[in-house]
Structure 1
Amino acid sequence: MPIRAVALLLSCLVIAACQRPEAETTQGLVIEEVAAPQDGGAISTAPVKVAPVKPEGTRQARTSIREIARPEPAPEPHKPWAAPLELTAGAASISCDLDYVEKGDGEVLTTFDRDGLKAALAPCEAGGVARLRYKGKVTAEFGTLVERVTEVADSMDIGKRVLDIDSAGGQVEDAIQAGDYIAESRWTIWVREGAICHSACVFILSAGDTRMIAGQVGIHRIIRMSSTATTRAQLNAELRVVYERVRDYLERNGAATAVADLMMAVPNRSLRLLTTEELELYGLDGVNPAQDDLDRLRLMRKCGEDFVSRRDSFVRAFDKRCKSPDTDLDALNACGLKLRTDFGFPDQTCPSESPLSEFDRDTATLEPPKGEDGAQSVSKAAPQKRRSDS
């Protein structure tokens, strides 16, 4: 049920070490056919510099392929407000609520200047949470949209934001540029029930501070649409440069570089759907490990070593005493809210950084109703398990 994602998102926006309950057994890998990968996919069009490739099968040819990488010039600073923005490959909306079934996705954005985005985000100021819903291709326009929404949200002190994405992919280079920005901007990435995150969208997924997945995540080989290669060796030489960029990107954003290797093995007219276990293994689900390390350093400086030690102890106790595959959301949240008092939370010095601090906000949007035992809860519905093969 969507309400399951609501509660887990609320919790994981604050608990940096939050992890999904133990996954169901994998049913085996799933390969789907895609009719037109150019309609989404993982498309690379940026020029690459490669050394001349000699005929295949020679020692010299193999050596030249290994040495094709060339230093790239530093990209020019992006200026998100320099030109008018129009979304031609997708649609976006902003909501201040995570329950899209009951509350919807908000009004579709039609204006993307500062005033228009500020008006759309104004209702989110009180709760400090905004959800950007985006359905469409990953393009430069999408990256600009995220940058603009982030800047306006920062100016309004809306620090908790969720990118609710549904995308079949798009341009690799645009996804990497947008992902690097997202990685510095404190976003949770949500692939909700019925949504997909395929191909280049996976690069967006990897960049989030927290990744919550209930829909499909799939990968396949990168397509070189602008290639002038006439031999397999020439095409592979170009792809090696592109994949080296992808590996560097995945590494700096806390995901396994093995994702790039797996992509190479899936034809671009097919789609390999990642299982729950693979998403966790490759660092694409749950808390971003790179961000978790950074958060520990930040919390150490802001709240002190004792705070971080108590927070870590709480998370371990929460995982051990509150989580199980059959625990419903009322019990999960009630257990966490009761348990945190044993570790001195909410902390008087750092209340906003305390585990489950979103339940302390005095807002109708985020405050769940009282359960029978007096503890706050989110829903009486039992959670649906995520399909392990999708």
Structure 2
Amino acid sequence: MIPARFRSPSLLSCLAVACLLPVACRQQAPVPVEPPPKTVVASGSEDAGAVSSDAKPAVPTQAEVLKGTDWPTLRLVSGDAWIDCDVAGAPPPGTVAIMPVLLPQAAVAPSPGGDAAAVALGVSDAVATPVSPPAPAPAPVADEASDEAGPGDAASGGTEQDVADSGIADGPFDTPRPLVDLGFEDVQAAMAPCRERGSMRLRYEGKISGDFTALVQRTAAMADRMDIPTRILDIDSTGGRVEDAMPAGDAIAGSRWTIRVRADSICHSACVLVLAAGDDREIAGKVGIHRMVRVGSQATTRAELSQELREVYGEIKEYLERNGASVAVADLMMTVPNRSLRLLDDSELREYGLSGANAVQDDLDRIILARKCGDEFVKRRDAFLRAYARQCRVDGGQDAIDACALSLGAEYGFPDEHCAADGPLAKLRRAGGISASAAATATAAAAGEAAAPTTGGTAGRGG
């Protein structure tokens, strides 16, 4: 019998239910969630493995040749390429913005699954998933003597009246220009609109091959000629020849590229070697590795095949090491059959040095910056950037970000009157972290402060 002190409606009710429905009072264990598999079956013949052979890759075009205008004739056949002038906040290639003041609301047709307002602002689903680039009319060839694009050409997408009549916004919503022939005038015409913006995006979908290496070399050479500092490679590739991937990566490493793998894109097999070379890597899609397929192999035993591959893997390890990636990537490749694909998660990409800032380039930049502006400048810059990452949140809007950055700039002594162009505010401006007006205000204030007589100095200044 239950003592009186334990008799209560809630306790008795629970006991009654427990007797009648024993299962109902038992806590059900949560169903375990299986993590996605790391090794998957390759999707098809194109993913059957990176290719290696004794055939030597095409000799890269010498830099001295690319400084002139008589470039060797070459046509891109291993994939498709487009050029546009990517800027901070711009949507993917092919996305356009409708100008509401010029276009009646009834004429704005919402895309499936989206609304007209989102399309008008350029923030529809197309921003997350790039649409296939349209085939615009061939861009006129800019004057070779000036390298300038005139009014009404690809730089503006047409005349001012054409823009008003079509409702297609100018500015960062840049129409991608297909690039097939890689002659001097073709590359010049495709990239001429990007000169003023100082930013160029090369979008490539296809195999890693010798003509891809030439594509990177030539666009980089034209960016140097036009003084376009920001270069972005937006890649979608199942891989290709490792002997072509490494010189392509070396060309990228020597010319300051950011590499992107979008959510609807992949970078598999030999493409990972290209990814390793970027100054910065922005990855939303799938990155995967596996063994090479040795084309033309005469091996009849494992030992013979290993001997054939040993030299190639040695070159891959040396390549990864000089580009700041882990040589463990090459070791992992050896263990994954070429009919499978080992997908790398975010933590592995960071661990292997395949995402974010390139460690080797970051070290080199710090050495050069310290030599130019002083060690104290570099320490203040690093402290500023750490504080900015902690305190300046994007959810407050651009005005709040600008105010936060300027406040931190005053605290840490930026802009620095001796190295203003190399300071963190200038870097954030180029990356789109703060607005141009805020950066200009800070620079003007620093210039006025440097010119005005002072009695007590400014804390944190120097270098």
TM interval, shorter chain, is: 0.7 to 0.9
- Structure 1 runs of 4+ off > 4 angstroms? 37-40, 331-338, 358-361, 365-371
- Map of 1:260 onto structure 2: 330
Quote how far apart the aligned CAs of 1:287 are: 0.5
| Larger mean Cα displacement after TM superposition, 183-192 or 91-100 | 91-100
Partner of 2:317: 247
**Cα distance in 1, alignment partners of residues 313 and 269 from structure 2:** 13
Equivalent position of 1:84 in the other structure = 73
Match of residue 94 from structure 1: 83
Counterpart in the other structure of 2:241: 171
Describe the superposition over 1:14-53 as per-residue Cα deviations: whole angstroms up to 9, x where unpaired. Answer: xxxxxxxxxxx994542221244456741111369xxxxx
Deviates more, 1:118-127 or 1:286-295: 118-127
Deviations 1:156-214 (A, max 9, x none): 11011111111111110100011111111111111112111111000111000111111
Distance 2:352 2:335 in 1: 16
Q: Cα distance 1:183–1:329, how it changes in 2: closer, same or farther (>3 A)?
A: farther
**1:342 alignment partner in structure 2:** 411
Cα deviation, residue 256, structure 1? 0.5
- Residue 221 of structure 1 and its aligned partner are, at CA, apart by 0.9
State the match for 1:196 in structure 2.
Answer: 266
**What is the letter of the counterpart of residue 350 of structure 1?**
C
> What CA distance in whole angstroms lies between the structure 1 residues aligned with 2:396 and 2:41?
36
Using the alignment, how far apart are the partners of 2:396 and 2:326 within structure 1? 31
The partner residue of 2:352 within 282, 290, 304 is 282
Residues 171/224 of structure 1: CA separation in 2 closer, same or farther (3 Å cut): same
Q: How does 1:349-368 map to 2 (within 5 A)?
A: 349-357=418-426, 360=429
Structure 2: give runs of 5+ residues left out of the alignment.
Answer: 1-32, 96-121, 123-172, 443-463
Determine the C-alpha separation between the residues in 1 that align with 2:389 and 2:423: 16
| Structure 2 length-normalised TM | 0.62
Structure 2 CA distance for aligned equivalents of residues 84 and 329 of structure 1: 52
Instruction: Tell me, in whole angstroms, the C-alpha distance in 2 between the residues paired with 1:312 and 1:366.
Output: 16
Q: How many residues align?
A: 318
Task: Give the direction of change, closer, same or farther, for the CA distance of 1:149–1:43 in structure 2 (3 Å limit).
Answer: same
CA distance in 1, matches of 2:53, 2:278: 25
Q: Which residue of 1 aligns with 2:293?
A: 223
- Which one-letter code corresponds to 1:354 in the other structure? G
TM-score, normalised to structure 1, is: 0.73
Secondary structure at the residue paired with 1:93? strand
User: Which structure: larger Rg?
Assistant: 2
Single out whichever of 255-264 and 328-337 deviates more from structure 2. Answer: 328-337
The question of whether the paired residues in 1 share the 8 Å contact of 2:48 and 2:339 is answered with: no
Change (3 A) 1:105 1:192: farther
- TM alignment of 1:308-327, pairs within 5 A: 308-322=378-392
- Go from structure 1 to structure 2 and tell me whether the alpha carbon gap of 1:118 and 1:366 turns closer, same or farther (over 3 Å shift): farther
The runs of 5 or more residues in structure 1 that have no matched partner are 1-24, 49-74, 376-390
Q: 2:38 aligns with which of 1, 15, 30?
A: 30
